Amino acid sequence: MEQAKVMAISGAAGGLGPTVARAFFNAGASLALAGRSEEKLVLLLDTLGVPPMRRLASGVDLADAAAARAWAAAVQERFGRVDVVLHLVGGYKGGASLAELSLSDWNELQGMLIGTTLSVVRAFAGILKRGGGRFIAVTSPKAQAPTAKSALYSMAKAASDALVLALADELRGTGSTANLVVVDSIDFPEARGTEPRKPYGKSTPAEEIAAAMLFLCSDKAATINGARVPLTGKTA
């Protein structure tokens, strides 16, 4: 990155979060992490060796609009600004035929995928409109190409994507951007076990996703706004 950034990362303790947090910290960023477990976030920051002046860990229910706004305010109070928001909250429920779709699954996916994105977008939109900021969320090809057994997940991801693309439209002309990184599945370092070089089909290595995010947050990507950046991995 051209200069040190203040990163707000939601869902930072999830599968992708540690790799992305490490990449941005190594690039000089300060990290403001949010997720359900403050304990896990503190452990991650300790593991990365992030010094006290460059860190903030917040246990937050990101589907709660008031809690998300309080987190955004805490990041600004701690660091004086927010340069980048990475929305990494995810989850999946699927496998049922259309006739067997579960309302409880839909309610869970709405909160997990739509609710968190709506809360985070609303919390940071005004901050990003000041200019020069970045918003990035992770999505799936199923948001645009649903399968019968991924219907509820695809519906929720499509709605979440619409929020991010609407943010991109609102940010147009401000110098800030909002984009989507598209992955089929993610190859996490922690899941590789004793075969770190094993091919993982359509899975995209977490390190490649982090590298793409670093680029989208750079000055070189200042004109990329409202894009779906495909990182759909190998087709083994």
- Residue-wise pLDDT tens digits, 119-134: 999 999 999 999 999 9
For 145-180, the pLDDT digits (tens) are: 999 889 999 999 999 999 999 999 999 999 999 999
Which class in CATH covers the domain with range 6-230? alpha beta
Strand locations in the chain (E): 6-10, 30-35, 55-59, 84-87, 134-139, 177-182, 185-187, 203-205, 228-230
pLDDT higher at 120 or 14? 120
Q: CA-based angle 113:115:120, to the nearest 5? A: 95
Is the pLDDT at 193 greater than 80? The verdict is no
The tokens describing 161, both together, are: 């994507």
Domain boundaries, the chain: 6-230
User: 10 Å Cβ neighbour count for 218?
Assistant: 15
> Could you tell me the pTM of the whole model?
0.92
- Give whole-number Cα distances, 153 to 3, 15, 146, 147, in Å: 37, 18, 8, 10
How do residues 47-58 score in pLDDT, each as one tens digit? 999 999 999 999
Mean pLDDT of the chain: 91
- Structural contact between residues 59 and 35, judged by C-beta atoms closer than 8 angstroms: yes
The pLDDT, as a whole number, for residue 97 is 82
β-partners of residue 165 are none
